[in-house]
Chains A and B, each alone.
Chain A
Amino acid sequence: MSRPAEGIPEPRHRLGLAALAGRGAVGGGAADDDVTGHADVVLGFALAWAEAVAGTSYVSMSRSEVEQHLAGLTRQLVTALLAEPFDPAPAREVGAAMVAAHFTGTETLTRTVALLATDLPARLGLTGDACPGRERAVERVAAVQGALAGGYAEALRQRTLDEQEAISQAVFVARDQTEQALRASEARFRAVFAEAATGIGVGDVAGRILDANASLLDMMGYSLEELRQRNVRDFMHPEDAASVWRLYDELVQGQRDHFRVEKRFFRSDGEVIWTHLTTSLIRDDRGNPTYQVAMIEDVTDRHLLQERLRYQALHDPLTGLPNRALFLDRLSRAFETGGRDGRVGLCYLDLDGFKVINDSLGHDVGDQLLVAVGQRLDACVSAPGRLVARIGGDEFIILVERSGSTQDVVTIADHVLAALEAPIRVGEHELAVSASIGLVERPVQGTTPADVMRDADITLYWAKSDGKAKWALFDPERNAREVARFTLSATMPAAIERGEFYLDYQPLVRLSDGQLVGAEALVRWRHPEFGLLAPDRFIGLAEETGQIVPLGRWVLREACRQARLWQDRFGSRAPFISVNLAVRQSRDPGLVADVAKVLADTGVEATRLQLELTESAVMGTADEPLDALRALSAMGVRIAIDDFGTGYSNLAYLRHLPVHELKIAGSFVEGLRASAADGSHVVDARIVGTLVSLAHALGLGVTAEGVETEAQARRLDDIGCDSGQGWYFARPGPPDQINRLLS
């Protein structure tokens, strides 16, 4: 704001008062002398001025800074008022300076002008004609006011224009930058769209395709023009999951914002591509569905690879037939889709003697044989609803979905056996092969894939054991028996330990006086699952498995323990104990030692133990068992032949055997019942009589089994039979029954 000294004309006259004014800080050197001596006036006016304009404009100054600033301007005003010759120009500069300091409020100007009219002239003593110059004081003041207001207005106008210009310029720059940024952003988007490896298509909600990128055009084999003439719905594929188009409808109706599916498309050349499709909905500002954007990724290669892996996972690499996994899958599906009346059939097939071929001619020949067999099976069986699978080694299986009846699988089995009759040529070998087949055919209701598989396996085993080149049909009763037998034999060892076996005792009675002389120990099995089991249910099984030896040992020990109790309680009246000995036991080398140990352990006298053996166990055997029997006999143990008369006894041989007692089978005794009208009882009576005579001739005692009536007992006594056993006397029962009978 300061003006250089040269710019101001040299004042020609000086007012006397001017010499009193203070030194101007703002006004420049030219005014210095004018205000010297007016320091008080300047300060006083500046304070009044600051007070008057306080709060009327925003200036970035503290109050004291404002006062200082206004003091500078006051000096300029004083200078202008007092200058000789009079020149109001510095007041213009004061107006401009006020605007520059942001004294821009209109009230600021109003108060400044008012103060200038009254306060400053008064402080300077410029009143009326007091001014010594050419102009009257009031004229000077008016001119200074005018100049200040003019300078102020011009500066404010300029400032306003500048600020408007600046802010407009700022808008222009900002817009320009924004537009540049928008263009860059749009270009970025355009590049993403155009260059994306993923196919991108844009359509409206009616399904009209509006735009598509190069990847999508390439993927679909259409030009953009061709694609624009199509609707999204034209790309429906017959095998699309129903959900795909339901999701699509929900999307275009605004019920969902995106969906993602796996979907097939037909290319323009008819080829099918597999894709991952993600479709998103674009809404307008009010949320209405406006566009749809589809991102499509071609996953055909991946899909084909998966298909191939899937095929490999489900097929046997050697024969190319479905493998076990696929078979099980189809079997499960047959159950799922079988409904209430559906039936399913399985032919489980195993080559006879394949191992021999493999071992003797080598795996290569074996493999080729399997391939040839697979081909024959496939040729003679495969049809819709039938599946031939190789499920391992030389095992094949035929699944008959929706089988009509058991005859269906039987017919297939016959065809298969016939198809394998012709020899198979492998290299220079003509190989005759046959197969065994297990057949299962049944309604799917009430069974499971696992059941059917297990039963087919069992049935194949039956077919194998029935001989080669045969089929066997699953028989639920046979299976149940085998299952029960298997279960019993498997659980028997543990059952002995758990004490599931116990003994009943049946009295042996002297016929002449009805005295109880002995008791036969009969083993029972209280099975936790099958209930109470009689010996015929498990003794044969135990003989097969060898479990009879430990079981027999337990029976012998338990019976002797009981015999000892009776011996202690009844002394000489105590009954002898009779224990059955199975064939296998009689041949057990440890038998004699076992018996001796049991007798010693229990303290039972050997003469109180009778061992019952069947005819076959005693006769027609090698020497060792006889040796054992002789040894036992020598110990004093009685040997009885059980069920005598039912086997083929060598009567002549009988005399050489260490036998003390014959037990006549119940079937003979049955004929001795009084009322038999056909006279058969006469024959039976003679047979029994003959047997008794024979036994007595050999010095053997005779016990009749199966005595059920008093008449039988009387007749047997008449015939001379020594003892009887049967329901007439007592049924087998707990030891207490014997106690009661003896007491």
Chain B
Amino acid sequence: MDRPTWAPVEVDVERPSAARVYDYWLGGSHNFAVDRALAEQALRIVPELPEITRANRAFLRRAVRYCLDDGIRQFLDLGSGIPTVGNVHEVAQAVDPAARVVYVDNDPVAVAHSRAILAGNEHAAVVQADACDPDAVLAAPETRRLIDPDQPVAVLMMALLHFVPDSGDPAGIIARYRNAGPSGSYLLLSHGTDAADERRASMKQLYARSATPLALRSPAAVAALLAGYELVPPGVVYLPEWRPEPADAPDPDPSRFGVLAGVGRTP
């Protein structure tokens, strides 16, 4: 977009928002008819979508806890969307009330909502910015206030980069965030894959109508995005396969989720 950075983003609730559609699939009501219409349309193509979003959310929780266990106390959640149940600051601050979380989204409604939820929470804030503009994100006053660049930080890119086409240089965006943190920082990534499923093509067409078109990638391409990190075992796998809870029943067909997950640690 060649809109100058100081020009405001329009609020257009006539167009569905990825953040609100996601919320709907998670069972939330932070959405409008236009969002639900798209969500239902998508469900007709991929009925597992609510399951996938739940699995994605569960991966987020497991990965954040993993980072907490490793001593991480700073989180930068890119493309955070509507902060529904089980958001990062809830998970992190349940372990350590002083854990610091910065949410980033460019949807002004999601940001306004996040701001309302985070009111009074000194250790969490939201930045309205394009997550794909690392300089803008890192230079935002909230980021500078809450994230200490000398301490390891976990950067979350949950279901984000499959909205960034190759022309948007996703690897370059990752590299910029990676270089902003010290050794021992983390990248938490989940990413839709187009592995031989024609339903994904229909999804792409559907999303082309929303404010956020879809750019699914092959497993190899997703793994390549984590180059430059040490992969936390088991590496890049389907969502439920990433370090499941001991009590979780093994999923008979994790590939049906069509979303890959991986956590990398900067050496």
Contact = CB atoms under 8 A, between A and B. Distances in A.
Interface of A: 54-55, 57-60, 62-64, 67, 102, 104-105, 159-160, 163-164, 166-167, 169-175, 177-178, 181-182, 185
A174 B7 CA distance: 14
Given A64-B245, A175-B11, 4 more contacts: A166-B116, A170-B30, A170-B116, A177-B8
B116 A185 contact: no
Contact of A178 (B8, B31, B61): B8
Given A182-B8, A185-B8, A58 B108 contact: no
Contacts of A55: 51, 54
B57 A60 contact: yes
Contacts of B13: 171
Given A60-B85, A63-B245, A178-B108, A163 B29 contact: yes
Contacts of A163: 28-30
A169 B31 CA distance: 12
6 contacts: A62-B245, A104-B27, A163-B28, A166-B113, A167-B113, A169-B112
Contacts of A167: 20, 29-32, 82, 109, 113
Given A166-B113, A167-B82, A170-B109, A58 B90 contact: no
Contacts of A60: 57, 61, 85-86, 90-91
Nearest to A104: B27
A58 B245 contact: no
A58 B112 contact: no
Contacts of B31: 167
Contacts of B85: 58-60, 102
A173 B91 CA distance: 27
Contacts of B248: 62-63
B47 to A, nearest CB: 13
A58 B11 contact: no
A167 B51 CA distance: 23
A59 B86 CA distance: 7
Contacts of B91: 60
A171 B34 CA distance: 14
A710 to B, nearest CB: 108
Contacts of B82: 167
B111 interface: yes
B10 interface: yes
A159 B29 CA distance: 8
B63 interface: no
B120 to A, nearest CB: 15
Contacts of B111: 174
Nearest to A162: B29
B53 interface: yes
A182 B7 CA distance: 7
A58 B249 CA distance: 16
A177 B11 CA distance: 10
Contacts, number: 94
A1 B82 CA distance: 26
Nearest to B115: A173
Contact of A58 (B30, B54, B113, B115): B54
A478 to B, nearest CB: 75
B220 interface: no
Nearest to B51: A55
A60 to B, nearest CB: 3
Interface in B151-172: none
A64 B244 CA distance: 12
Given A59-B85, A64-B245, A166-B30, A174 B57 contact: no
Contacts of A172: 112
A178 B10 contact: yes
Contacts of A178: 8-11, 108
Nearest to A159: B29
B26 interface: yes
A395 to B, nearest CB: 64
Interface in B95-154: 108-113, 115-117
Contacts of B62: 62
Contacts of B117: 166
Contacts of B109: 167, 170-171, 174
Contacts of A159: 29
B11 to A, nearest CB: 5
Given A58-B53, A60-B90, A67 B61 contact: no
Given A174-B11, A174-B108, A174-B111, A58 B116 contact: no
**What 7 A-B pairs are tightest by C-beta distance, nearest first?**
A60-B86, A181-B8, A63-B247, A170-B113, A174-B108, A163-B29, A170-B112
B112 A177 contact: yes
Nearest to A102: B85
A54 B62 CA distance: 17
Interface string B1-43: 0000011111101000000100000111111100000000000
Interface string B228-252: 0000000000000000011111000
Task: Among A57, A166, A185, find the residue whose CB has the most chain B CB atoms closer than 10 A.
Answer: A166
Contacts of A57: 27
A64 B9 CA distance: 44
Contacts of A175: 11, 108
Interface in B65-110: 82, 85-86, 90-91, 108-110
A58 B29 contact: no
A105 B27 contact: yes
A173 B27 contact: no
B18 to A, nearest CB: 14
A64 B65 CA distance: 15
A54 B55 CA distance: 12
A404 B30 CA distance: 95
A282 to B, nearest CB: 14
Contacts of B7: 181, 185
A470 to B, nearest CB: 78
Contacts of B116: 166, 169-170, 173
A303 to B, nearest CB: 34
Contacts of A170: 30, 109-110, 112-113, 116
Most chain-B CB neighbours within 10 Å: which of A67, A174, A185? Answer: A174
Contacts of A160: 29
A52 to B, nearest CB: 13
A64 B62 CA distance: 13
Contacts of A166: 30, 113, 116-117
- Residue of A54, A58, A63, A171 contacting most chain B CB atoms (<10 Å): A58
A163 B57 CA distance: 19
A49 B108 CA distance: 40
A160 B28 CA distance: 8
A98 to B, nearest CB: 12
Interface in B170-202: none
Contacts of B11: 171, 174-175, 178
A58 B86 contact: yes
A173 B62 CA distance: 33
Contacts of A171: 11, 13, 109, 112
A185 B112 contact: no
A169 B119 CA distance: 14
A104 to B, nearest CB: 5
A170 B8 CA distance: 16
A67 B249 CA distance: 14
Contact of A177 (B6, B28, B90, B108): B108
A57 B50 CA distance: 9
B53 to A, nearest CB: 7
- Counting chain B CB atoms within 10 Å of each CB, the highest count among A59, A169, A185 belongs to A59
B10 to A, nearest CB: 6
A280 to B, nearest CB: 15
Contacts of B32: 167
Contacts of B112: 169-174, 177
A195 B246 CA distance: 68
